[in-house]
Amino acid sequence: MGVPAFVVTALARSRTARRIVTMLLAGVTILILVALAPLAIIPMALAGTSLTAPAAAVGTGPVPAVSGDWGYPVAGDYFKGRGFGYNPVGGCSYCSTDHQGYDMSQGCGSSIYAAGTGTVITAGAFSGWGNTVRIDHGGGLVTLYGHMQWGSLRVSVGDAVIAGTAVGAEGNTGRSFGCHLHYEIQRAGIAIDPEPFMAALGLPLK
């Protein structure tokens, strides 16, 4: 039902009515501007912010403990698997009895991190280690991160990394017996025991 014409005419001639209408229109305009303000602020904020965060800072989960230039290859607690040296695996005919690394498990898909500063020299399929990253730390020292999930690698050959840079996710690729990280340290091409090496850096393993 429409407003009678005489009411509209009376309101139009009334100074008070015109003020009320003007204030109502101003209030509605302010409410619209307040509602749309975030839509204008977000693009401006993004324009001044880098969208590429360091790999280790991506996500809201824990970050690995770091001591100087070195850190753990996993963040938080983990289950210890096989250690370095003679470690046969029952029921696994293809698993080496002479284990050249240190196995750590947090569950399939858990993030794996670079243990130290260096350059990525392998990122992909690598012999029995499956999906693997190797990092050259200089001085003949190389760390290896084996059995990671296919498609999970966050680095490429030639990338410079630091301790805590995310490199991939825990998997079960290559000659693996369940999801875990095979963490290996090589000096001059020969695998060394990671436990005393990490302990000397103030990063004891289990």
Query: What pLDDT sits at residue 10?
Result: 53
Q: What average pLDDT does this structure show over 108-116?
A: 97
Q: Is the pTM of this model over 0.85?
A: no
Q: How confident is the model at residue 4 (pLDDT cuts 50, 70, 90)?
A: low
Q: What average pLDDT does this structure show over 131-145?
A: 98
More confident residue, 57 or 109: 109
Q: What average pLDDT does this structure show over 187-193?
A: 95
Instruction: Locate 175 and state its tokens.
Output: 């000659």
Query: What pLDDT sits at residue 48?
Result: 40
Q: What average pLDDT does this structure show over 131-158?
A: 98
Task: Answer yes or no: are the C-beta atoms of 164 and 64 closer than 8 Å.
Answer: yes
Query: What pLDDT sits at residue 56?
Result: 40
DSSP for 32-99, written as a single string = HHHHHHHHHHHHHHHHTS-S---GGGSSSS----EETTEE-SSSS--EE---SEE---TT-TTS-SEE
Question: Which segment of 10-14, 40-44, 107-111, 148-152 scores lowest on mean pLDDT?
Answer: 40-44
More confident residue, 97 or 56: 97
Q: Give how far Cα 66 sits from Cα of 23, 28, 132, Å.
A: 61, 55, 22
Instruction: Locate 202 and state its tokens.
Output: 């103030």
Q: Is the pLDDT assigned to residue 164 strictly greater than 60?
A: yes
Q: Give how far Cα 114 sits from Cα of 30, 70, 185, Å.
A: 52, 9, 12
